[in-house]
Structure 1
């Protein structure tokens, strides 16, 4: 990636200039063309990989938190509704932002607005902070004159996203703590307890039962080759992570996530609820159906479901009904398809999709409450099996040693 400085003319013939991050000058020209700007000159000003290191960068925030985006959207809604000019609102929020990273980005957005760029185009220069759905909603708000409504819908959407994340963390906190405790207990047993017992058993020369032999062999393997296990696990994690970063790997990983026991259906309902709510927001804002499906397919958070939504878009382009394309994906329940059919018949498809989103949110809330109840018996069984193995491996030879001593 590099930073380019450009100069050009917009659709009204006015000269505009600014900075943009991209992989090449051709990509800069392509992005300018999508914003109806004819480039006159594009000059590379900085290679981002060669920036000099500063000590304060080590502790600088890496990303803008979701809470900060919610506050930003709420503030922009209030300011735009009150008739405050966008540039003035952006400068004011830059000075009051709690996050230095967000303040820096808002300053750049203000500079791009002063150079003649639209708000959606200025936000598009920062894709790591403002996603495709955020930018497209702002674009729709600008074109329809309902920018305040767009910011209000975005704040509601982001707030729902935050609540969903909180519920997932709350439901998985207890199982994660139990799993960490089990891992620590296994480490203590393998590295400290069993080696001491094996030394005692070796001195007495008693015949050991097979559970004890298995435990001793496992402990010896961990003690002697822990470094090899650590290297293999690290290399495996890095390899998997690099593969997941590719398009093919991300698609397969998202497909696997949907098939995981217990939590797979929750991921699926979260993605479908996000699809329904975003679809309803953009349709009610007047965005064409094909464009809505194309945008939503990239914002649901799951590439496998996104591919299904892309199939829906292709079907609508061929002239098929939305109901038929949705049924062909086999992602939606009969109840949702029935509501979709009613929405197409009545023309109130945005209202019906809002109800679909509420339906999925209720299902997710119920599943998350049930998740802890479903995981708890599994954890109890796992703990029982671990205790049973340790008891058989440790106490059986103790009983054997007692008989040897008595004899």
Structure 2
């Protein structure tokens, strides 16, 4: 249904603004009258705040959400009523999408909906894990603790994402600079030697590697724009393909086969799964529902399939550890710790500890990998530049020696 923005007055004459979903303006008026509000202006809500240029709803940054969860928990613990707390946070929100979302959530809560159900209507903002933990916290009477845990989890995930991106930023920068430098040499420097190389070619004194270099430079000059356009089109095509289930599985298989980095990425996915599952179980979410949410949060199709198999085992009354062991994607120590935790009924406390330990070990390996990768990339770049320079100089030196 469309979203309508309204301006109305309450029984005391105070101006009230907000938005709600309705079939038409008449239905908006009916819904407002049920709240003892008298509309003075109703119009279709502008989507500029929450919709991107591609027509998709904008997401809210994880750090912003983590702050929101923590602030909501603090307000509720201080005795502030839910609706008042949501009003305060929506007024203070600096993110336009979050502000609009909180206003809509507040309206739903005012209509009698539980907070978790109101949040579930905004899956572009709130994750399945957060929604289910709020559900469990509301039903179990520990909503404030649940919100704190969601906030802590979200902050940890943002830190994990930032560290991963930060670790790979410099190697990607080096690669980009290398491509630009080599392309610049081929397009702008090599053509300056064309006259000399034409004379050498007529004499039959042109080395094959110099011929190859000239050919490559010529292709880049004549068809460079077409090559760039083709690469962009290929990039978009791969993006759409990898967005499908089959494409994601193919990409995950490719990533897994990358030496060293493949294992690092898989271990980070395992750590994320353990943290999500442990956090959900610790907040009273049933294990089957927790596994379902953890599966979607695993960020790896191969791992997700293993978790789905483990879920079927749990439904059949079997253990969680065995299918994880047979999948081959979980480190042996992790599987053994999960097995022991199952026997002692301590999955909710052991899984976050597993995640912490695995993340620390994996980031040590990632840091070592990046430190090794940087000099290797510099050496490769230097070797390529040297090869280009030698391919240009060797025939010149030979030509001078024959004079």
Task: Indicate whether the TM-score tops 0.5.
Answer: yes
Q: Deviations over 1:133-160 (max 9, x none)?
A: 1111111111111111111111111111
1:269·1:363 contact (CA, 8 Å) conserved in 2? Answer: no
Which SS does the other structure have where 2:172 is aligned? Answer: helix
Are residues 1:90 and 2:89 paired? Answer: no
In 2, Cα distance between equivalents of 1:174 and 1:349: 38
In structure 1, stretches of 5+ residues that fail to align are 6-16, 22-44
Single out whichever of 251-260 and 138-147 deviates more from structure 2: 251-260
Structure 2 counterpart of 1:133, from 112, 129, 133? 129
1:266·1:368 contact (CA, 8 Å) conserved in 2? Answer: yes
Structure 1 counterpart of 2:159, from 159, 163, 185? 163
Which SS does the other structure have where 2:190 is aligned? Answer: helix
Structure 1 counterpart of 2:264, from 263, 266, 274? 266
Classify 1:53/1:288 alpha carbon distance in 2 versus 1 (closer, same or farther; 3 Å). Answer: closer
Structure 1 counterpart of 2:21, from 14, 19, 22? 19
Q: Deviations over 1:43-95 (max 9, x none)?
A: xx9999xx8989x987x994311211111111012112222221111110011
Task: Please provide the CA RMSD for this pair.
Answer: 2.7
In structure 2, stretches of 5+ residues that fail to align are 5-18, 24-41
Partner of 2:334: 336
- The structure 1 segments of at least 4 consecutive aligned residues displaced by more than 6 Å after TM superposition are 45-48, 51-54
Task: Give the TM-score taking structure 2 as reference length.
Answer: 0.84
Q: How many residues align?
A: 366
Q: Deviations over 1:362-407 (max 9, x none)?
A: 1222122112222124213312330332133111111122123x2x
1:3·1:46 contact (CA, 8 Å) conserved in 2? Answer: no
Classify 1:139/1:46 alpha carbon distance in 2 versus 1 (closer, same or farther; 3 Å). Answer: farther
Cα distance, 1:186 vs structure 2: 1.3
1:20·1:125 contact (CA, 8 Å) conserved in 2? Answer: no
Q: Deviations over 1:7-55 (max 9, x none)?
A: xxxxxxxxxx96289xxxxxxxxxxxxxxxxxxxxxxx9999xx8989x
Which SS does the other structure have where 1:298 is aligned? Answer: helix
Classify 1:76/1:259 alpha carbon distance in 2 versus 1 (closer, same or farther; 3 Å). Answer: farther
Are residues 1:243 and 2:215 paired? Answer: no
Cα distance, 1:324 vs structure 2: 1.9
Partner of 2:2: 3
Classify 1:47/1:226 alpha carbon distance in 2 versus 1 (closer, same or farther; 3 Å). Answer: farther
Cα distance, 1:182 vs structure 2: 0.6
Cα distance, 1:352 vs structure 2: 1.7
Cα distance, 1:309 vs structure 2: 0.7
In 2, Cα distance between equivalents of 1:47 and 1:89: 27
